[in-house]
Structure 1
Amino acid sequence: MTNITKKKEATSPKKKATAAGGPASSRKTDLLIVESPTKARTISKYLGKKFRVMASVGHIMDLPKSRIGIDFERGFKPEYIVIKGKAKILNEIKKAARESNKVYLAPDPDREGEAIAWHIAEALRGCDIHRVLLHEITEKGVREAMASPSAIDIQKVNAQQARRVLDRLVGYKISPLLWQKVRRGLSAGRVQSVAVRLICEREKEVLAFIPVEYWSIDAKLQGGNPPPFIAKLIQRRKITPLSPLIRGASNDSPPDKGELEGVEIHNQAESDAIV
């Protein structure tokens, strides 16, 4: 016959607290995500051990490179995929988020940064997410920003999406035309093509320019008190001759000062005549 002895084991305070979700749960850190690894290291020094600071290293999602990635039938809806080489970073962020109480998203405070924050938030659905706008990387600036988190600005996200879709449409639709009409390897872009056009137009103006000789008259003036200075002749009075009748009417007649006109001096003879 086998005797079974029942023995009550004491539960340690540490285990009891863990089961109840007490002190062990509260030891979880908060997660802060920025774009730059250098920025992450700096901010980590400011916030201490209560925060884990990670870097997304820029965008984690973008349109695919192998196809246009835009659904024309659904309001130009973009198709986002994880950027090649960023899957490991995203998985590390997901793991850290599961181990954190709160997640603070602090990419740059512009439309690109807002899109990065939005993509990360989409990947971390179910987490307690807050948006933080860092305008200066100082301890005071970081702590003030962390004390007043906000929500993701969807209008900025939409602005970035519109910019990205336009870039893709121009690049993927016009570049093949350049390959057919000019030569392969050329590319078109929403900003690039306009900039090239402006440069070409300016170069045509330079090539069409015909140099013309011109002279200027400078006078070094010196008075009693002020220091001497250089004066340049830029305007002169256009003198209108008075009629003989007016000239003979009175010696007290005011002189005709005429209107101001610009000065164009084409050669030395004209310069000597003015001086």
Structure 2
Amino acid sequence: MLLGKTKTVPRRVFTIIGATVGITVAVTAVAWVGGLLGLWDWPPQPSSGFGVLCGVAGGIIIAFEMALVFRKMLRGHRLGRTRTWMRLHIWLGLLCLPVILIHGGFGFGGPLPAATMALFLAVIASGVWGLVMQQWLPQKMLADIPGESIASQIDRLGEYQADEARQLITALTTVPPESESDEPVISGPLAGELEAFRDEVLLPYLEQGRQSRSPLTARAEAERRFARLREAVPPDARGALDKLQGLADLRRRWDDQRTLHAWLHGWLLVHIPLSWAMFSLMVLHAVRALKYW
């Protein structure tokens, strides 16, 4: 979710970090002033009235945060705009940080509270990290990957590229039926070298990308190999080689896109399991706390 379309990426990232620190400091300062005025105990204790109030408030916020999962499962129902839910998820999540810290007395306590607090801090950290990634990576994709495609379709598109490469090289090393010439554009040992380059280097890369471990994954090595082939072939074949190099360059950009896409969405593989683990321990902690309170 982008924070402000008109802001630059550094400003949006600064907004996220500044909001995290600012909200934590502001809420803590208000609680501290209330303690000085005698409204509640300071420093707070988890079992005090104010500490329990903060715990309840934090628990309610966390329960709402977890409701976003069910909101995504019920996308077909009118449960409010997704953007509104995400804004509430972000800002309430940042607000929850100082509330829970105050509830815990800025400490960890026993084994169960400590584990719950550690998971809570990890959830907040992973959420802030993911939000930062969402400000930076989409713009980087637009700037660095002009041939951006759908990430899940990259391998299929690579197969289409490989078919195009086969046709280009076949047209160079064989005589088309409609051709007026009896000789291919490239023949002899050079044709064999070009076909070996196609089968061993180019096609595996177009079809599998970086997983092929082809030397074409490195831009400098790809330019060197294509430059050597371009010097060796007749002038009539150089246009086809330029197209082949363009296919390899496009596949390299797609590989970069796939890497950025993994960074953009991979943080959820950490954030969501941590959230469920923290929520489970929080419920257990609340039950045990109420039992002995």
Settle same-fold status: TM greater than 0.5. Answer: no
The interval holding the TM-score normalised by the smaller chain is under 0.3
Greater gyration radius: 1
> Which protein has greater RCO, CA pairs closer than 8 Å, 6+ apart?
2
Relative to its length, the structure with more helix (as a share) is 2
Relative to its length, the structure with more strand (as a share) is 1
